[in-house]
Structure 1
């Protein structure tokens, strides 16, 4: 049985300050301009189950379940979540009332594709971390209302959820100051440009159409700064429609400012993906901003890059979608974000009745917008050309409700924090028209807001 309670308004930052240091809390933080994709925020804690995957070994609630393939892990997650077909109707208007929240990293996607990486596995970064939550706190940014909703079993009482919310201070606690820190690259500028040039040679030889080449930057979390306080500052600095703070146990956290939806599916099987490909800076004033947007819309290389990823996502989703249901909307639309313009397209379809959100993840991971086309060969080339493993970067943050619906984001513009070690990845798509220096400049443009954040600007 599902339940819903309306609550008095509390600022998300107040809730983060009060509850964010608890292990296995999850904040799905839609920010930036208010629209359909960024209307709702959700906070979950005190999970019923927690699952951790490292190099194929699965740990559930501290119990070692042994080795599983990536496909077996997704099947196990399906069995872990209780399903209530009528939940969406019982909790009208609130799109998530508990279920699975977590992330699948890039290595998990490689495992699904059968790629053995030459890079040493990162012992401090899980391949996947997921928790099952029996309720969720929700903010409706459009109506400026708050709720808690969940699914009941064994006489579950929602009053303690309501009481905990009333104990959260109405006034936001100040965010502690954060000393500056230094982001160190995993390769030099020349090394990155050489990787781009090699990728372009492989494209010219007909080996591939497009490939995403990225790099990682590493820093140490400043002394005395908690990960949740760092995220509180970050979300104000770089708001994004698919922001997220995941505390995956005591040692690993993900701090994401992702602008990109990966795949979503409704409780009725409607699928949408909104890949981003193509980047331009924001202007200093309205006229310059509009000029940059027009240049991006007319850029042959950027449009070709987006088109190839649209075709890739149509193919991936089409593996589990009804024949004839695939369509493209908002093709090559320029969207403005806090620090950049992006070219965005939307791919839609309808799941076949025998498939669900877990099948959709299996068919589409790792995300095509951060890999390339054809995908399998792109993954091999990425592993050959890049200087370090991607970790969580270029995976996905997802929520899967007990009604079967899912929403997810591509893990980009995100810090992964393992102990005191922080990493952030950036990169871009390479085509036959790519210029190594311009690709390096685009990569630095994406990094710039986070470099400024690290310097305390």
Structure 2
């Protein structure tokens, strides 16, 4: 069977790869889709040169208003006025329908009541069946709506044939059309959404119609055959319009390899099964440097493992500074390296900066894209295709551990004028030795790359009966003689930012905007007092246990200095977990505070309202899109379940992709393409991230961090040598760039058109209180 070629024109939407995969799943996988952006060509004339390659064009959804012209929709408006397009089968979706109908004389107006992430009944008109676009479709079916704008017809727009309608508070609305005597079809709803019914049937019918028009009416097939014979290289070049190159070729030989044997020692301790405190007791015994990923709250499918990573003198430390476009690499606590060396080297222009007393500090001039590639290439030669089933299935056997900040994600620009900013945007450490605690089976593993596990840790485990029976003596409050200066965003600024978000959503620029604020806490210690980061961690764990508790203090230099990065987190949200074949995301959207009056049943009713449903559906569709960009098989395994934590109830879903082992990608590729987390941005991601960074959050956070989020909204986790990884979202956390002198706490929520100012402010404070309570 010959391939059916589709040119898909995306408008920087966060659902575009959902559309692409929906197309590719038809005709037994013989549909080939080439995706470009609406500004990939400057003129329709340029586009016309490649049109003969394609059987059909699909114009996807996106932000903006076609009435605003090219600044919003690129070449879309010109496309529908070009005579070369008249014979080309076209399917428009959402924005695509609006642009198509505007070119026919219709108006595009704002809805009185906006619909984002809401599921409605679609009604097929008699013309819908006559057109054949809705063959075999029931008279009514449910589909998802994401739109602030809608098409309005008049007596002058007789060439626009209504195929589908719906009805709501706005009245009777046009949901699908055909342009008279042309193979142009469009729908306002989103057939690619996970809650849309008959989306695949719509695509199948459109393909049949396109084949009919091309073969029996316009004769375009003869043009396609000739174009393909003469210009296959041009087609292949167009297929690379969106860069999806893997970080490295995982099937190629690494060249130089640093693979080493893995040493393991195993302890079976049945009485620690389902005991979250065992890990906390264990880390209390370890006085050397450690990074902790502890399950201080155990639940099914989360919190099964705790990991204690042990950096040592052979561990390389990778630190990236986004604004400086530089990366430092050095060994953990190199005795010859001082912080002044690093600052001096970062201010230099050489790619390799050294000091006469130190030859191990390396400075690389690279942007964040370069950082992603370089750390991946460094890991490539160390990754192990482990045959031992037990080692293969352990979550971590050594590898990269650390933090990737919010600014390491896509669409976030750096501030090249800020050459004094030495706040790291990414900090990763290569770990050779670690301790794993399996809370389900009651097993502890000591794992070492190179058979050099620290003797003092072995001794601790050999004598575990002496300390595991003792109670955990961690206090739930900080010393009472410490006072705190707390600086928060101003309420009036939050109100202003909230209203700005609503304006953008009503105009059609965004469906959902995750507005976040940051609070700075400065402990005021008595003259002889001290407050260690470890003491704060102990208190947070007691006050708010969570599945993804973490403690990362980067004292990676021998000398103590005042600009160490430290993260303390009690995050409930996994961002991305992967093994050799499967990627899983667990987005959280929707939070209800636990009180004496609030129980699971009441919280579930609140979290299943249209507002919360819409928030979750948007993020689910966005995450499906992020996975579909690189992997073909994506499924929603758990749809909006309510989970209970110590202080809140949360609405959680699970999205899983399979087939990574057969693809050219690793989990690190999925992580890079998915950042920043959609649950922390909103959708469409690109325009929403840009609005948040440059317009909205600098205003609301002018007292604290400006437009930077830093560690907050980034991710913390690991990439293991056996090809596994697990990263949690940096929420319900606190972090310090100056060794604990000042602490930063972020909180926020997804704003939709159904949000209220008071409701969002209350949710933000509920989340903030999770970490802020430690200081109160």
Alignment partner, residue 278 of structure 2: 11
Instruction: Indicate if the aligned counterparts of 2:641 and 2:653 stay in contact, CA closer than 8 A.
Output: yes
Q: Between 432-441 and 291-300, report the one with greater CA deviation.
A: 291-300
Instruction: Indicate if the aligned counterparts of 2:432 and 2:448 stay in contact, CA closer than 8 A.
Output: yes
Larger Rg: 2
Deviation at 1:31, TM superposition (A): 2.2
Pairing 1:108–2:375 present: no
Instruction: Indicate if the aligned counterparts of 1:181 and 1:219 stay in contact, CA closer than 8 A.
Output: no
Alignment partner, residue 148 of structure 2: none
Alignment partner, residue 340 of structure 1: 648
Change (3 A) 1:113 1:21: farther
User: Structure 1 CA distance, aligned partners of 2:262 and 2:613?
Assistant: 45
Alignment partner, residue 435 of structure 1: 756
User: Structure 2 CA distance, aligned partners of 1:165 and 1:247?
Assistant: 23
SS of residue paired to 2:363? strand
Instruction: Indicate if the aligned counterparts of 1:34 and 1:142 stay in contact, CA closer than 8 A.
Output: no
Change (3 A) 1:175 1:85: same
Q: What do you get for the CA RMSD once the two structures are aligned?
A: 2.5
Pairing 1:44–2:309 present: yes
User: Structure 1 CA distance, aligned partners of 2:489 and 2:769?
Assistant: 17
Q: Could you say which structure has the greater relative contact order, defined with CA pairs below 8 angstroms and 6 or more residues apart? A: 1
User: Structure 2 CA distance, aligned partners of 1:162 and 1:449?
Assistant: 36
SS of residue paired to 2:407? helix
Pairing 1:199–2:498 present: no
Alignment partner, residue 771 of structure 2: 450
Deviations 1:131-164 (A, max 9, x none): 1111210112123332212332xx6467565235
Match of 2:689 among 379, 396, 399: 379
Match of 1:232 among 534, 538, 544: 538
Alignment partner, residue 669 of structure 2: 359
Change (3 A) 1:357 1:378: same
Deviations 1:308-360 (A, max 9, x none): 01111111111121x2x111121111111111111111111123521002211
Instruction: Indicate if the aligned counterparts of 1:428 and 1:442 stay in contact, CA closer than 8 A.
Output: yes
Alignment partner, residue 238 of structure 2: none
User: Structure 2 CA distance, aligned partners of 1:198 and 1:96?
Assistant: 44
Deviation at 1:173, TM superposition (A): 7.1
Deviation at 1:266, TM superposition (A): 0.8
Alignment partner, residue 35 of structure 1: 300
1:18-417 to 2 correspondences below 5 Å: 18-19=285-286, 22=289, 25-47=290-312, 48-55=315-322, 56-61=325-330, 63-81=361-379, 82-86=382-386, 89-91=389-391, 94-109=394-409, 112-116=410-414, 123=421, 125-152=423-450, 156=452, 161-163=457-459, 165-166=461-462, 170=467, 171=470, 174-175=473-474, 178-179=478-479, 181-182=483-484, 184-221=486-523, 222=525, 223-249=529-555, 251-267=564-580, 269-284=581-596, 288-321=598-631, 323=632, 325-350=633-658, 351=660, 353-383=663-693, 384-386=695-697, 387=701, 388=706, 389-417=708-736
Q: Which runs of 4+ in 1 moved over 6 A?
A: none
Pairing 1:421–2:734 present: no
SS of residue paired to 2:709? coil
Instruction: Indicate if the aligned counterparts of 2:577 and 2:584 stay in contact, CA closer than 8 A.
Output: yes
Q: Between 86-95 and 416-425, report the one with greater CA deviation.
A: 86-95
Match of 1:2 among 255, 262, 285: 262
| TM-score between both structures, scaled by the size of structure 1 | 0.90
Change (3 A) 1:266 1:46: same
Deviations 1:75-107 (A, max 9, x none): 222232311111662526532111111110011
User: Structure 2 CA distance, aligned partners of 1:147 and 1:86?
Assistant: 17
Gaps of 5+ in 2: 1-260, 270-276, 332-360
Deviation at 1:253, TM superposition (A): 0.8
Q: Between 421-430 and 163-172, report the one with greater CA deviation.
A: 163-172
Deviation at 1:13, TM superposition (A): 2.8
Change (3 A) 1:200 1:399: same
